[in-house]
């Protein structure tokens, strides 16, 4: 169980941190909290003591002089949120006049620092210079968001969302097996339009592709995602290009293909499209006959164009899963294929087989995020054996 230490400073965004603590606990992290004296003016120690594994203030430090050493050694990840301009400046200059800042000096790994303040303060040369120096020291600055601030002004300075903060915590914990590699992932369902409001599509949610993208980013890769229609939240901090049709997806994939070291084609593309698309909504009729024509096979085209890329495909079958998967691996010149039964589409659980030229391995996980980790472990293992 990973241990997360959160430093809360004296900004109005401190009221958001109990919700963050609750979510981290729900995800089975141990969480302890340090409050600065000014943070206690916004939210009490008792609140955090009730929902976390421990909450600490200046008074605790007076009773236990080595508390800062104990907390620094305990933590796997140290997040400061919200980080005020005052605290950012003190960290940059090595000032240690409270429990939080002294613990920072005793912590020998990169910090996660999430600034939150008025937009003019955030953009001031002093604050920007301080943040620049902290980045040079390999601390991670979780950039604030654009929005309505406590002063009712609109601009940058809003504390990063709970989802982004948690995503950066996972980033800090994952090994960087994919550092500096360029990863291109497709996901979601394409849509082939019959008229302006009707289309042919499928049940893909995009969750598997987004999970693969999240884990790749956590492990150090530079990730780009090309997504069709999806029904799950987008992963934070990742560049996502949206497309509708299979042809649009093909164009985007080919645009980035030479850039990529690893290409994962997880999208559920439509195999067929209407031969004609009506420019106006088709009126209701007793019968409607559609003529469908075959869409280009993007994965097969990538296999023919493959040079340095490690190419991964997905196959969804209702029968003869392994047989069809092996045939597809060879025919499309893939390095690895993930074969899933049809019930995996849109499902939270995920099971199937990893098929490579060397064999077949079955897997089954309760979440697609766990499957994504397993798939990336296999890819990293295969890449390590490449000459």
pLDDT digits (tens, 9 = 90+) for 83-102: 999 999 999 999 999 999 99
Which tokens is 238 given? 């990742």
Distance CA 241, CA 219 (A): 21
Q: How confident is the model at residue 237 (pLDDT cuts 50, 70, 90)?
A: very high
Does residue 189 contact residue 268 with C-beta atoms inside 8 Å? yes
**Torsion sign (Cα): 122, 128, 132, 137:** negative
**Torsion sign (Cα): 3, 370, 349, 361:** negative
**Bridge partners (DSSP) listed for residue 239:** 224
Distance CA 203, CA 330 (A): 27
Which one, of 226, 131, 238, 144, lies nearest residue 187 by Cα?
226
Considering the candidates 105, 148, 150, 151, report the single residue annotated as catalytic. Answer: 151
Distance CA 33, CA 305 (A): 53
Distance CA 380, CA 385 (A): 9
| DSSP category for residue 336 | E
Does residue 34 contact residue 6 with C-beta atoms inside 8 Å? yes
Helix 67-74 × helix 99-106 angle, to 10°: 50
| DSSP category for residue 196 | S
- For residue 149, what pLDDT is reported? 66
CA atoms within 13 A on the CB side of 5: 26
DSSP 39-75: GGGTS-HHHHHHHSS-EE-HHHHHH-TTHHHHHHHH-
Distance CA 202, CA 205 (A): 9
Are domains 3-173 and 182-384 of this chain identical in fold?
A: yes
Q: Are strands 222-227 and 182-187 parallel, antiparallel or unpaired?
A: parallel
Residue 318 has pLDDT above 80, yes or no: no
Cβ neighbour number for residue 343 with a 10 Å cutoff: 11
Distance CA 244, CA 228 (A): 5
- For residue 288, what pLDDT is reported? 84
The CATH number of 3-173 is which of 3.40.1280.10, 3.40.630.10, 3.40.50.1950, 3.40.50.10470?
3.40.50.1950
Active site residue 151: yes
For 148, 192, 352, the CA distances from 339, given in Å and listed in that order, are: 46, 24, 6
Q: Which residues contact 122 (CB under 8 A, 6 or more apart)?
A: 85, 115, 128, 144, 156, 157
Q: If you count them, how many residues does the chain have? A: 387
Which tokens is 30 given? 């141990």
Distance CA 266, CA 302 (A): 13
Cβ neighbour number for residue 354 with a 10 Å cutoff: 22
| The architecture CATH gives domain 182-384 | 3-Layer(aba) Sandwich (3.40)
Domain ranges in the chain are 3-173, 182-384
Share of the chain above pLDDT 70, in %: 98
Q: How confident is the model at residue 73 (pLDDT cuts 50, 70, 90)?
A: very high
- For residue 15, what pLDDT is reported? 95
Residue 30: in which H helix or E strand, if any? strand 30-35
Distance CA 38, CA 100 (A): 12
Distance CA 335, CA 330 (A): 9
For the chain, helix, strand, coil in percent to 5 are: 40, 25, 35
Residue 231 has pLDDT above 90, yes or no: yes
Distance CA 147, CA 165 (A): 17
pLDDT tens track for 178-223: 999 999 999 999 999 988 998 889 888 999 999 999 999 999 999 9
Residue 273: in which H helix or E strand, if any? strand 272-274
Average pLDDT rounded to a whole number, residues 121-150: 91
Cβ neighbour number for residue 184 with a 10 Å cutoff: 25
Q: What is the mean pLDDT of the chain?
A: 93
Distance CA 322, CA 339 (A): 7
pLDDT tens track for 265-297: 999 999 889 888 888 888 888 888 888 899 999
């Amino acid at each position: 169980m990973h241990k997360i230490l959160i430093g809360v400073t004296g900004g109005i965004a401190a009221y958001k941190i109990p919700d963050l603590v609750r979510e981290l606990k729900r995800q089975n992290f141990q969480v302890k909290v340090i409050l600065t004296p000014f943070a206690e003016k916004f939210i009490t120690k008792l609140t955090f003591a009730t929902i976390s594994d421990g909450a600490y203030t200046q008074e605790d430090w007076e009773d236990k002089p080595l508390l800062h050493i104990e907390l620094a050694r305990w933590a796997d990840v140290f997040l400061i949120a919200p980080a005020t301009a005052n605290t950012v400046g003190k960290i940059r200059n090595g000032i240690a006049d409270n429990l939080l800042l002294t613990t920072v000096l005793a912590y020998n790994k990169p910090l996660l620092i999430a600034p939150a303040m008025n937009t003019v303060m955030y953009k001031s040369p002093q604050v920007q210079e301080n943040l620049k120096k902290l980045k040079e020291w390999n601390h991670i600055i979780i950039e604030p968001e654009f929005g309505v601030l406590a002063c009712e002004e609109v601009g940058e300075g809003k504390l990063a969302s709970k989802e982004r903060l948690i995503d950066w915590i996972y980033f800090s914990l994952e090994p960087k097996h994919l550092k500096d590699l360029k990863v291109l992932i497709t996901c979601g369902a394409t849509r082939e339009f019959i008229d302006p409001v009707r289309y042919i599509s499928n049940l893909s949610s995009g969750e598997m592709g987004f999970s693969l993208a999240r884990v790749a980013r956590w492990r150090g890769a530079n990730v780009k995602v090309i997504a069709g229609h999806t029904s799950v939240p987008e992963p934070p901090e990742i560049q996502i290009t949206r497309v509708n049709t299979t042809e649009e997806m093909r164009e985007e994939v080919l645009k980035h293909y030479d850039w990529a070291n690893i290409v994962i084609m997880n999208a559920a593309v439509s195999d067929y499209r209407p031969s004609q698309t009506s420019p106006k909504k088709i009126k209701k009729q007793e019968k409607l006959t559609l003529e469908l024509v075959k869409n280009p096979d993007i994965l097969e085209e990538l296999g023919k164009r493959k040079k340095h890329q490690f190419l991964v495909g997905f196959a969804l079958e209702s029968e003869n899963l392994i047989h069809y998967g092996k045939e597809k691996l060879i025919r499309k010149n893939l390095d690895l294929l993930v074969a899933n039964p049809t019930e995996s589409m849109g499902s939270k659980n995920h099971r199937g087989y990893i098929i490579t030229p060397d064999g077949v391995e079955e897997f089954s996980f309760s979440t697609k995020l766990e499957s994504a980790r397993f798939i990336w472990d296999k890819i990293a293992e295969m890449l390590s054996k490449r000459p």
